[in-house]
Amino acid sequence: MSDYITVQNGNEIIKIHKDKFSGFIDTNFDEDIISLTYEDDNGIPKIVKIYKDKDPAAFSQALDFLQSLK
C-alpha cells in the first residue's frame, strides 16, 4: 500500500499523504463517494471528494486506506 492517495481534481493532481489524513466526512458508499479531510503541505485543512465513477483508482486507494484503519 502506498503512503499517498493520488486524486484527480479537475486539472489538478492532489497527493494526500496518509500521515496528513485527518478524517472522513459525508462518505456515502451507496453512491460511491468518499470525502476525506486532510492537511496540505502548508498545514491548511482541505476536503476532497472522490467519486468512484470519475476516479476509480483514487477511490480504491482511499477505500483500502480506510479499511486499514479498522
User: Distances from the Cα of 38 to the Cαs of 10, 24, 46, 55, 59, in angstroms?
Assistant: 18, 9, 5, 18, 15
Mean predicted lDDT score pLDDT of the chain? 81
Is the overall model pTM greater than 0.85, yes or no? no
Number of structural domains, the chain?
A: 1
Residues 8-55: tens digit of each pLDDT = 877 888 888 888 877 766 556 667 888 888 888 888 888 888 889 999
Write the CA distances from 51 to 27, 37, 64, integer angstroms.
10, 15, 15
C-alpha cell at 21: 489524513
Output the domain CATH number for residue 14. 2.40.50
70 in helix, strand or coil?
coil
